[in-house]
Amino acid sequence: MKVLVVGSGGREHALAWKIAQSDRVTEVIAAPGSAGMEGVARCVPAVSVGDQDALTSLCQGEAVDLVVVGPEDPLAAGLADRLREAGFAVFGPSAAAARLEGSKAFAKAFMERHGVPTAAHRRFDDVEEAVAWVRERGTRCVVKADGLAAGKGVAMCETPGEAQTALREMMQDRRFGDAGASVVVEDWLEGEEASYYAITDGENIVTLAAAQDHKRALDGDRGENTGGMGAYSPAPVFDAEVERRAYERIVVPTIRGMAEEGMPYVGVLYVGLMIDAAGDPYVIEFNVRFGDPETQPLMLQAEGDVFPLLLGAATGALDASSRDGGLAWPGAAVCVVMASDGYPRDYPKGKAIDGLAGDGALAREDDSVVVFHAGTRRAENGGFETSGGRVLGVTARGASVQEARDRAYKAVAEISFDGAQHRGDIAARALDR
- Write the burial class of residue 150 (CB in 10 Å: 0-12 exposed, 13-18 middle, 19+ buried): middle
Q: Which amino acid is at 45?
A: P
Domain ranges of the chain: 2-94, 126-181, 192-315, 332-432
May I ask the CATH architecture of the domain 2-94? 3-Layer(aba) Sandwich (3.40)
- The residue ranges of DSSP E strands in 320-399, in sequence order, are 332-339, 352-353, 369-373, 376-378, 384-386, 390-398
Report the relative pairing of strands 281-287 and 27-32 from DSSP bridges: unpaired
Mean pLDDT on 135-162: 89
Question: Cα angle at 64 between 61 and 70, to 5 degrees?
Answer: 115
* Mean pLDDT confidence for 271-282: 96
Q: How confident is the model at residue 183 (pLDDT cuts 50, 70, 90)?
A: very high
Is it true that domain 192-315 has CATH number 3.30.470.20?
yes
Query: Helices in 20-98 by DSSP H: which ranges?
Result: 52-62, 72-76, 79-85
* pLDDT at residue 32 in the model: 98
State pLDDT tens for residues 350-372: 999 999 999 999 988 888 999 99
Query: pLDDT tens, 389-417?
Result: 999 999 999 999 999 999 999 999 999 99
**Given this chain, do its domains 2-94 and 332-432 carry the same CATH topology?**
no
Please name the amino acid found at residue 23: D
Residue pair 153/145 in contact (Cβ under 8 Å)? The answer is yes
- Model confidence at 325, pLDDT cuts 50, 70, 90, reads confident
Superfamily of domain 126-181: ATP-grasp fold, A domain (3.30.1490.20)
**Neighbouring residues of 407: CB distance < 8 A, sequence distance ≥ 6:** 334, 366, 368, 369, 396, 397, 398
CATH class of 332-432: alpha beta
Each residue's pLDDT tens digit, 27-68: 999 999 999 999 999 999 999 999 999 999 999 999 999 999
